[in-house]
Structure formats: C-alpha cells, structure tokens
Structure 1
Amino acid sequence: MKLPICLLWMTTLLHAEMRVSTDFEGGNAEIVKLDQASKTLRIMPKLHEGRGWPCWWYFRLDGLTPGETITLELQAQTKPFRENQVLAAAWCQPKHAWLSSDGETWSPSEAGTLSADKVMSYQIKPTTESLRVAWGPPFVPADAEKLLTEIASKLPESKRFELSKTRDGRVVPGIRIGDDNAPHQVWVGSRHHAWEAGGSQVGRGFIRWYASDEAKALRAKTCLHYIPIMDVDNAAIGAGGKEAVPRDHNRDWAAEPIYPEVAAAQRMIRDIHTKRGLDVFIDLHNPGADDPIFFFGPFAFERMTGIQQRNYQRWIDIAAASITEPLKVQPKYRFATYVKTDEERGRMSSGWVRANAGDFTISVTLETGWNSPLMSVAGYGKVGAGLGRALAAYLQENPRRE
C-alpha cells in the first residue's frame, strides 16, 4: 500500500541527516563530533600544514529542518601550526557565527557562550534546509573577480591587470583607475594574511566608493592601483596564511621574496615611484579579537620632522574625522611593537614601502576590528567608504608641497 505524500514527506524529515561540506572556495572545517540525535556539531579549523594559522572556518550545512535548533561548538585546532606553536582559541572563536542561506547575504548568529574548557557554543535556528556558516562574512577569489568586473563595467576608463600568478598557479588580479601620469599615485591592497577577510570587505567598500560620483574629482587627479586579495592561494583553500612557513606574505617584502605576487608588487611600486612618485600606500588588515579600528603607523613617527611628520600627522587627523561608521577609527597611530627587529620591520609591506618611496609618501596599515555584529558586509563597507573620503581630503591639499 502506498503511503500518502504527506506521510512520505514526514518520514523523509524524520530520517534527514545533517551533512557538513567544505568543497568550495574558502571552505574549511574539521569535524570533531557530529551528533545527529541532539543536532550538535563540533568543529575546529582544519590545519593546512605550513599554511599559517588555523583560525578561519567556513562550511555548508545540508539536510536541515527549518526551525529546529542546531548547536555549533567551536574549539581550537589541537595540532601546532609551526614548530611547537598551537594557536590560541580566541582567534577562531568570534562572539557571533555568520550565517547565509544564499552565500551572498550574511547575518550574525546570537552571541555564543564560552565554556570553562574554551569551547564556544552557538545556538543556530535555520530557516532553510541548507545554510552556510563562517567565522565572518567571507570574501574569496570569486568575489574579487566579481568586484573587479563590476568596477570595470562602471568605469570603462579603468584597466584590469594581472599582478602575477601565485606559486600554485592562480591569478592575483588588480585594477588601475586613472592616468599613469596623474599628479597623485595611490596603492591600496588587502589580504596579506588570508584569514583576514574583513580587509577585503573594507577594500570592497573603498573601491565602490572610489567608483562613485562622489569620488569623481579625486579620480580626475589620481591613479589608483587596487589589489583585492594578495594571498590568493590560501584564501582559495581556507588556510590562515599568517605565519606560514617559512614566512607569510606580509613578512616577505625582502630583497628576494618567495611569493611571486609580492615580487610583482615591489616592481610595480618601484616603477610608480620612479616615474611619478607614490603618495599613499594602504594595506588592509584585521587585528586581534578585542581590538577596535586603528592605523599602524611608522616606528619612527615621533622622531620624524619636516614633510614626513606633517603628512603622517595630517593623515591620521583626516582619517579620524572621516572614518566614523560603524565605529570611529582611533585618532592616534599604534605601532607594531611585537615586531622586535629592524630586519623584520624592513620586510613588512608598509616598512618596505617607506624605505623605497619618498619623504612625502605615507605608508600605513588599517586594522579593522572584526569581533562585533557591526562588522557586517555593510559595516565593513562603511569603513571603506570613510577611507575613500579620507584619501580625497588628504590629496586635496598637495602632500608633496614643501
């Protein structure tokens, strides 16, 4: 005897099993426990040997029952990521997990709870049978391609370019907006550390603002080079990138870089500065779990004089007045005091640019705090738009003037 359709549907639901998938760009999760009866999933970020911090996670859940609560437990990876170093749990345990039913629109879960044994638990109630769950709003190489296509379509005068191919053969794309011989030259890039997806989200907000009517006067006098993702290989596979073996992208700005994309960026920046002079270099990052929005400035800031001191001070003053949403940027520079040697400082991206550009050049790192529901796609975008307005105000008065 055939069962009525409604009973068949109910039987299917009763036997549906929750499934975890990571077989897509940026996917990363190692299943520790999956209890179908209690709908409890425990994961930790998968370790990619030699590929840096195991902190990023991003997966898809299928076989869900809409309205039925799932418990997601998040623990730190137990294996060392290099030598005997095991990453602290705080790096992989945001206050909120980020959820999407379509892979495009992301919203935060309810705040998680941290147990005494350092396991973060999130209660998730899906409204669909499939749900994507991530450490933060993702930005993968496909998003970079989509964004650059959007900007090139809006600004036909722009020129897309291939910075280089990675060691794994992937393309590192960029876009140039403005005339090569424009009075001012700017470089903005994201994701020297692959896990810091918020850097690319800020970059997306920045480049969309830069392509808007509000930025028309800025575009008329500026040539911008923009790179949405530097560490494309690790962003593609969901690896952290930071403190990779033997070094990560942000510590590779040496005389002989190991990453082709870093070497290509060095060549382009040298060429830009030789021909026209580089006015501004901005590297976009995410900081620690409890950090706000701030700029890392030059170690020698307090000893600077003349045009250098004037431009760095003017930049932080303008940025503090321009970047106000969803949170205000701090009005004073921080300094990466955890970097102990001049040799290592010299092969950080911002340090290398300072050493290879002019006295009028400013080279800074924007660190956008991530551990807050305010740091949504829209929230990061507002930081990026504020950064664009700061750049416009800064270049309005020629920084090369004596």
Structure 2
Amino acid sequence: MNGIAIEDDYAGGNIRVIGQASGVVALEQQLRDTSGWWFYWSFAATAAEARAVAFEFANGEVIGPWGPAYSRDGIEWTWLGADASGSSRASFAYAFEAGEKAYFSYCIPYQQHHFETFYARISPHPLVRRKVLAVSERLRALPLLVAGDASAERHILITCRHHACESVSGYVMEGFLEHCLQPPYSLFLTQCKLHYVPFVDLDGAERGDQGKGRAPHDHNRDYTDRPLYRSTAALTAYASALPLEVGIDFHSPYLWGGRNDRPFIVKRRSPMKEEIERFGALLMRATSRSEAAANELRYDGAHDIEAGEDWNQPNDRTCSSFFERRGARLAFSFELPYFGVEGGVVTPDSCRRFGADFAAALEAYMLEGGRHDEDR
C-alpha cells in the first residue's frame, strides 16, 4: 500500500483502513458491537521509505487538542502535538524515517502489560496481595489487588475500565497506590483494606473495543439480578460479601470541551450528595496544594454534574448505584478527562500525581469519618 503498512494486532489496537493513495491514508475507528457512534482508535504504521503521511479519519472528529497519542514502542506514550493535526480534528500528519514504526492512538493507552509492570514494582510489599476476580469470556484472569492489614474491618472498593477505552484511570491508580504504600504506611494499610479492580472489561481493553454502549448493554449497565458478564457477576458477589464503606468507579467522559476537559464527580442524590461534597472539598484542597507546578490536574467541584442534570439521570444498573445499594457511606463515579487543559494536560505522570492527591483526600475523608462515627 504505497510503502505504508497499517496494523492493529496488538493490545488495544483498533482501526479500519479504507484506502491509501499519494501519501494519504483514509481510515476509521472500528465500532464492532458498539450500539452507537464512539471515538476510540489505535494503530501502528510502518513506512518503508522516509516520507510525510497524512492520516484522515472518515467517521467524525476523533483527534484531540494535543494531536494523537504517540509511541515508538507501544509502551511509553506521549502526545504528538497540536501542530500535527492543524485546524482539523479529523486528520493528522507524521513524517516517517525510512523503516520507522510508530504507534498512534486517540488517547494515552493503559493496557494489561502496563499494569503488570506496575504490579511487579509493588508486589514485594508485605501488605499487597493479588487475587483473580474472575476468568473472562475470553479466558483472561481478571486481576484483583487487595492492600492493607488482613484484620482491617473498613473496606474500600475501587473499579476501573467498565468501558474498555477509558484508559486514564490506570495511571491515576498507580499514583494512588504508590502514595498509600510509601512509608509511613497510610490509613489504607493500617485501618482499612483497599480492593482494586483495574479492568472490569479486560477483554474489551485488550481487544481495543470501545466498550461504551456495547450491545445489548455495556458492563456499567450490568448490575442487575442476572448479570450478563462474568466480571460484573463476580464483582457483585465479591462486593456483597464486604461491609463496604466506600465504593468509587473511575471513568472518562466524552471527547473534549466543557467539563469533559476537567476531573469531575457524577453526583448522587441526598444523603449521598452531602458525603460526596465532603470528599470533594478535601480533594479540591489536595489538588490545589501544587499551584506553582507547571502541569497538574486539579479538581474543582464547580465542574461536577448534579443528579438529574444533563445525562446524569437515575439508573439503578450502574456500578455506583450498586455500591450505594450495598450500603456504602460514600459511592460515586469519577470522570477523568482524556486530554485536560493547558496547565493541566493528561500525561502518565500528571495522572499519577493526581492519583496521589486523590489518595490523600480519601484518607482525610476516612479519618474525619472515623472521628465523626466515634463521636455519635
């Protein structure tokens, strides 16, 4: 194909090539079993000769404000830059060296191999244990991490990747856990037990599915009496055996613009609303400590979406609804932007720092809650 080879047969790959001519490759994201339009894509391209190539997408504007995510090895990712796409959000250009292979993606990926690299770093810790939550439909073992004292009676459950393409949470949780594991050990390791599910839809994440809007329903609409997916059935059973105090489900929202560019909480109705706002105040304080930093993700409760506002309508089939039904004192979905804003661009490192702030805020919330419970 004019010296440009396109592939997506790697973890997270997703592309359909429509055609190629005169240094232009026409392509589109694969929707697969997604019931509507969505935007995730990821592919690798190899050029036999040094040349500039334009990649043009035929199914919507799917290039973010910093251009595509870019990698030379499929492991370490950065942004190619806004100049790569110019004024168009449906195309970008790249100048290849002869024989060069480059990876491109809608957003910065987080695959199971990223998780395994992270787990290898923390696995020697005496208070970290790994379990298998379930075996997926495609026979993948879904990892479950448990951190904390085995005798702890306070339980926190955090889930990610109910929607396969929402990858930012993996880096946030790396920062979260590293904060908790640094000596002196945090509250989570002395008084609480933290349960972490990094990939609810591991099959989708590894296959490069959209995940959002999967037919007949996606994993975050599967908290019913008869779950369709093995992972949600196993998570339901696992969480039901815990005296759950906190349940948080991480997501990423829609494309870019408005609150989609900022971290925000999907609020629930009273009395959960008041607990969410208590935690939100602590998170705002934690993320505002680094005002002088050049690139930090910051949370501001002004960007939260209220219950009943816009798309945040009552739905008892979501994970956060399930957490609330299980009796959690604090339960919500948290949305992490794919791209961020100037001064707060999403990168693996900025996400890890945000995760550390998130852990500090949750620790403060638990400490305050503990004192409050004892005083009643």
Specify the SS of the correspondent of 2:107.
coil
Residue 215 of structure 2 corresponds to which residue in structure 1? 245
Q: Which amino acid aligns with 1:258?
A: L
1:396 aligns with 2:367: yes
TM-superposition CA deviations, 1:61-114 (whole Å, max 9, x none): 113556x432222232xxxxxxxxxxxx34x33221011112222121222245
Q: Which amino acid aligns with 1:60?
A: A
Decide whether the 8 Å contact of 1:61 with 1:130 is kept in 2.
yes
Decide whether the 8 Å contact of 1:202 with 1:284 is kept in 2.
no
Residue 287 of structure 2 corresponds to which residue in structure 1? 323
1:158 aligns with 2:122: no
TM-superposed deviation, 1:327 = 2.7
Moved over 4 A (4+): 50-54, 338-342
TM-superposed deviation, 1:54 = 4.4
Residue 110 of structure 2 corresponds to which residue in structure 1? 139
Decide whether the 8 Å contact of 2:297 with 2:340 is kept in 1.
no
% identity of equivalent residues: 22
Specify the SS of the correspondent of 1:319.
helix
Q: Which of 98, 103, 119 is residue 69 of structure 2 equivalent to?
A: 98
Aligned mates of 1:241, 1:163 — CA distance in 2: 19
Aligned mates of 2:362, 2:2 — CA distance in 1: 53
Residue 122 of structure 1 corresponds to which residue in structure 2? 92
Q: Which of 208, 231, 250 is residue 284 of structure 1 equivalent to?
A: 250
TM value normalised by structure 1? 0.81
Q: Which amino acid aligns with 1:248?
A: D
Equivalent pairs counted in the alignment come to 354
Q: Which of 75, 81, 85 is residue 58 of structure 2 equivalent to?
A: 75
Counterparts in 2 of 1:279 and 1:42: CA distance versus 1, 3 Å: same
Comparing both structures, which one devotes a greater share of its residues to strand?
2
TM-superposed deviation, 1:163 = 0.6
Deviates more, 1:15-24 or 1:373-382: 15-24
Aligned mates of 1:105, 1:203 — CA distance in 2: 17
TM-superposed deviation, 1:294 = 0.7
Aligned mates of 2:312, 2:274 — CA distance in 1: 26
Aligned mates of 2:36, 2:115 — CA distance in 1: 22
TM-superposed deviation, 1:264 = 1.2
Aligned mates of 1:215, 1:179 — CA distance in 2: 11
Counterparts in 2 of 1:323 and 1:52: CA distance versus 1, 3 Å: farther
Decide whether the 8 Å contact of 2:34 with 2:212 is kept in 1.
no
TM-superposed deviation, 1:260 = 1.3
Deviates more, 1:311-320 or 1:46-55: 46-55
Write out aligned runs for 1:53-68 (5 A).
54-63=38-47, 65=49, 68=51
Counterparts in 2 of 1:340 and 1:151: CA distance versus 1, 3 Å: closer
Specify the SS of the correspondent of 2:297.
coil
Write out aligned runs for 1:216-255 (5 A).
216-255=186-225
Q: Which of 331, 334, 337 is residue 369 of structure 1 equivalent to?
A: 337
TM value normalised by structure 2? 0.86
Write out aligned runs for 1:267-278 (5 A).
267-273=237-243, 278=244
Aligned mates of 2:312, 2:154 — CA distance in 1: 33
Residue 172 of structure 1 corresponds to which residue in structure 2? 142
Q: Which amino acid aligns with 1:24?
A: Y
Unaligned runs of 5+ in 1: 1-14, 77-88
Which one has the largest radius of gyration? 1
Aligned mates of 2:339, 2:69 — CA distance in 1: 11
Aligned mates of 1:161, 1:181 — CA distance in 2: 17
Specify the SS of the correspondent of 2:123.
helix
Counterparts in 2 of 1:309 and 1:74: CA distance versus 1, 3 Å: closer
TM-superposition CA deviations, 1:120-167 (whole Å, max 9, x none): 1212234671111111111122223333333213x1331101111122
TM-superposition CA deviations, 1:20-43 (whole Å, max 9, x none): 1111111111112222x42x2222
Aligned mates of 1:271, 1:253 — CA distance in 2: 16
Residue 48 of structure 1 corresponds to which residue in structure 2? 32
Specify the SS of the correspondent of 2:117.
helix
Q: Which amino acid aligns with 1:229?
A: F
Aligned mates of 1:183, 1:340 — CA distance in 2: 32
Q: Which amino acid aligns with 1:350?
A: S
Deviates more, 1:387-396 or 1:143-152: 143-152
